[in-house]
Amino acid sequence: MAPGTRQLHEFCWINILSPEPAAARDFFAKVLGWTYGEILGMGYSIKLDGRDVGGLFDAKGPDGSPMPPMIGVMVKVASADAASARANELGGKGEPAFDVGPQGRMAVLHDPTGANIDVWEGKGSQGTDADIMLPGAPSWFELLTDAPDSAFPFYEKLFGWKCEKMPMKDIEYSTFSLGGPQPIAGMMTMTAEMKAMMKPEWGVYFNVTDPDATVKLVESLGGSVTVPAMDVEGVGRMAGVVSPHGVRFYVIRYAEM
């Protein structure tokens, strides 16, 4: 995924749900260098280098009921209604699409394994156009799934993604691409240990200059570590962390940086 306006079927936005949005804004500002703008009556836009990359919202639903803290991901589509209908045809679950003011139209989807992935039909807003290699930018999206044989054809037929298995030690890993030389996302088969702790989900990796220092900062701010800082051969150094308010994410410094 190159800097600039995202193309159809690329990731174009993130949405953070937190039970304490004010504290979450402060946490992510310190960890990832984000600034914010106000989305009147809804929440806050996440900004990086002056450009919007996502939104941060209260985890309480419209009816006041709590929703789990998370980072949701969005893929750009030509029609949110058509994508939702197609998801249902492919064995997933597509909720009815709805308008988000004049900015666009979206739909909440789940793949056949239960992982949530939303779609965005841009109108007033086409999603982020931030440079994905800036510190603090979401640069990689990764599906953790317990059924890759079900997930792969779903995304291939829904978005036209191509899947290629990668040789990696001790884990089963594949990448998704849109036919170009650079993959846009990854897919990792969950181990038995992972299955006992979590459900299938999409995870987001953010660029940092020093993963080890970021881990220490997260811990000093009341967060925790799920994956200690480690080197991934040919990729870079990464770690998995959780904010003090339960939002799970990953940080990475790529080898070429």
Domain range 138-254, CATH class: alpha beta
Residue 225 CB partners (closer than 8 Å, separation 6+): 215, 218, 219, 239, 240, 241, 242
Show Cβ contacts of residue 149 under 8 Å, excluding neighbours closer than 6 positions: none
Coil/strand/helix, residue 235: coil
Find the helix or strand (DSSP H, E) in which 162 lies: strand 162-166
Cα–Cα distance, 47 to 44 (Å, whole number): 9
The burial class, CB within 10 Å (0-12 / 13-18 / 19+), for 22 is exposed
Are 11-122 and 138-254 in the same CATH fold? yes
CATH of domain 11-122: 3.10.180.10
**pTM (two decimals):** 0.95
Q: Which phi and psi (to 5°) does residue 194 adopt?
A: -65, -45
Kindly list the distances between the CA atom of residue 22 and the CA atoms of 34, 44, 145, 161, 251, in Å, as whole numbers in the listed order.
13, 10, 32, 37, 22
Domain boundaries, the chain: 11-122, 138-254
Give the span between the Cα atoms of 130 and 128, in whole angstroms.
Answer: 6
- Each residue's pLDDT, cut to its tens digit, for the chain (257 residues) gives 456 789 999 999 999 999 999 999 999 999 999 999 998 888 999 999 999 999 999 998 666 678 899 999 999 999 999 999 999 999 999 999 999 989 999 999 999 999 999 999 999 999 999 999 999 999 999 999 999 999 999 999 999 999 998 877 778 899 999 988 889 999 999 888 888 888 999 999 999 999 999 999 999 999 999 999 999 988 999 999 999 999 999 999 999 75
